[in-house]
């Protein structure tokens, strides 16, 4: 049996295949079972954050014992910490990565294995800001931190090609950051890679209902409850909170990924369609039969390896 391939969106989803590999089936359902057990929609955000760190965090010493060539460094912008990861000796570019975690979970420590992979696969020096988390720090704290950190990194590496990457909430935050950079007249990055970006705090995408039951990880209740933590007293329809509703013209080239079966499929698809209409270069790839954030969460799958290949081709194509 063969696994499903990534399919580009050019007006519709690719046809669904009837066969999946056993590895894919076990990986998707196993990860879905773990996430559903640990991260219930109404579990307190502090408890879920602690679980995320307990299961995801890996010490620098442990990783350097496994990968002796990996180097870590630290930068600061006031109280904001930024972890730097280098898994290649002479990186050709800079990646500014905004981690996922629904705006209330996640940290550089819990993303280290993923950022090592970003560095190695994209031949990059990776910067990961430890942006403030909701509900203690609702919007605009995360965006303010991302903006300050990006300007700091740009000043540190003024001549290097630089890319914004982000997954899930970090993907939506990356798009909001692009919009702020454009609106303030600052130099844009060479491109942005957004993996399963959460771009709509109003949960209005058709896939929220269409993929109900097919998404093994999330429900509408998850999205609505978790969005409230970040939105706070702000308007969920605002462009910075829900960049799916923003003017997406004059942005950096975009490469978007989404799983065919995830609730946030339309969060990415609508961004792709709107950006393309407004003249921003955009390409979107759907993982057939895939779930949320599959290239980072399940990197051993063939579908994920192909996604990493697409990412590498994207960063190597810019700047032109």
Each residue's pLDDT expressed in tens, for the chain with a length of 320 residues: 233 345 554 434 444 444 468 889 999 999 999 998 899 999 999 999 999 999 999 999 999 999 999 999 999 999 999 999 999 999 999 999 999 999 999 999 999 999 999 999 999 999 999 999 999 999 999 999 999 999 999 999 999 999 999 999 999 999 999 999 999 999 999 999 999 999 999 999 999 999 999 999 999 999 999 999 999 999 999 999 999 999 999 999 999 999 999 999 999 999 999 999 999 999 999 999 999 999 999 999 999 999 999 999 999 998 87
Q: Could you give the 3-state DSSP secondary structure of residue 282?
A: strand
Asked whether residue 184 is assigned to any structural domain, the reply reads yes
Catalytic residue (choose from 260, 292, 303, 304): 292
- Number of structural domains found in the chain: 1
Please tell me the predicted confidence (pLDDT) of residue 21: 84
Q: Whole-model pTM above 0.85?
A: yes
> Residue 136's domain is classified under what CATH number?
3.40.50.1820
DSSP category for residue 89? S
- Contact between 48 and 39 under an 8 Å Cβ cutoff? The reply is yes
The answer to whether residue 15 sits within a structural domain is: no
What's residue 20's pLDDT?
Answer: 60
> Is 168 part of the annotated catalytic residue set?
yes
Which residue bears the tokens 């630290």? 74
- Are the beta carbons of 192 and 165 closer than 8 angstroms? yes
The question of whether 262 is a catalytic residue gets the answer yes
Query: Is-contact 193 175, C-beta < 8 A?
Result: no
Find the catalytic residue in 262, 272, 274, 282: 262
Residue 5 included in any domain: no
Q: Domain for residue 66, yes or no?
A: yes
- Is residue 28 in a domain? no
Residue 38 burial (CB < 10 Å; 0-12/13-18/19+)?
middle
Give the distance from CA 263 to its chain's centroid. 15
Q: Which residues pair with 95 in a beta bridge?
A: 126, 163
Q: Are strands 80-86 and 162-167 parallel, antiparallel or unpaired?
A: unpaired
pLDDT at position 275: 98
pLDDT of the residue at 7: 53
Beta bridge partner(s), residue 282? 254
Q: Does any domain span residue 38? A: no
Helix (H, G, I), strand (E, B), or coil: what is residue 17? coil
Q: Does the active-site annotation cover 292?
A: yes
For residue 97, what are the domain limits? 46-316
Cβ-proximal residues to 104 (8 Å cutoff; 6+ apart), any chain: 45, 48, 49, 133, 134, 135, 226, 229, 230
> Looking at the domain assignment, is residue 133 inside a domain?
yes
- Cross-strand pairs, 82: 75, 129
111 located within any domain: yes
Of the candidates 27, 110, 119, 168, the residue annotated as catalytic is 168
């Amino acid at each position: 049996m063969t696994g499903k391939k990534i399919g580009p969106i050019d007006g519709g989803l690719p046809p669904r295949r009837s066969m999946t590999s056993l590895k894919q089936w076990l990986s998707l359902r196993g990860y879905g079972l773990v996430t559903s057990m640990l991260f219930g929609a109404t579990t307190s955000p502090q408890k879920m954050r602690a679980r995320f760190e307990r299961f995801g965090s890996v010490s620098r010493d442990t990783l350097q014992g496994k990968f002796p060539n990996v180097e870590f460094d630290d930068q600061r912008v006031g109280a904001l910490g930024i972890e730097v990861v280098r898994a290649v000796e002479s990186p050709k570019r800079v990646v500014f990565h905004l981690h996922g975690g629904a705006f209330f979970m996640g940290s550089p420590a819990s993303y280290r294995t993923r950022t090592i992979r970003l560095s190695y696969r994209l031949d990059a020096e990776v910067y990961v800001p430890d942006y403030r988390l909701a509900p203690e720090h609702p919007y605009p704290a995360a965006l303010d931190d991302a903006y300050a950190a990006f300007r700091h990194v740009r000043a540190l590496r003024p001549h290097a090609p630089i890319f914004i990457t982000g997954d899930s909430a970090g993907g939506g935050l990356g798009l909001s950051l692009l919009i702020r950079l454009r609106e303030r007249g600052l130099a844009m990055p060479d491109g942005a890679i957004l993996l399963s970006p959460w771009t709509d705090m109003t949960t209005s995408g058709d896939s929220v209902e269409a993929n109900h039951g097919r998404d093994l990880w999330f429900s509408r209740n998850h999205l609505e409850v978790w969005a409230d933590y970040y939105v706070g007293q702000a308007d969920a329809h605002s462009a910075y909170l829900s960049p799916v509703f923003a003017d997406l013209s004059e942005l950096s080239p975009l490469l978007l990924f989404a799983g065919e079966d995830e609730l946030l499929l339309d969060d990415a698809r609508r961004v792709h369609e709107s950006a393309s209409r407004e003249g921003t270069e955009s390409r979107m790839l759907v993982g057939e039969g895939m779930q949320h954030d599959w290239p980072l969460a399940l990197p051993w799958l063939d579908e994920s390896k192909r996604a990493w290949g697409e990412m590498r081709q994207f960063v190597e194509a810019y700047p032109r």
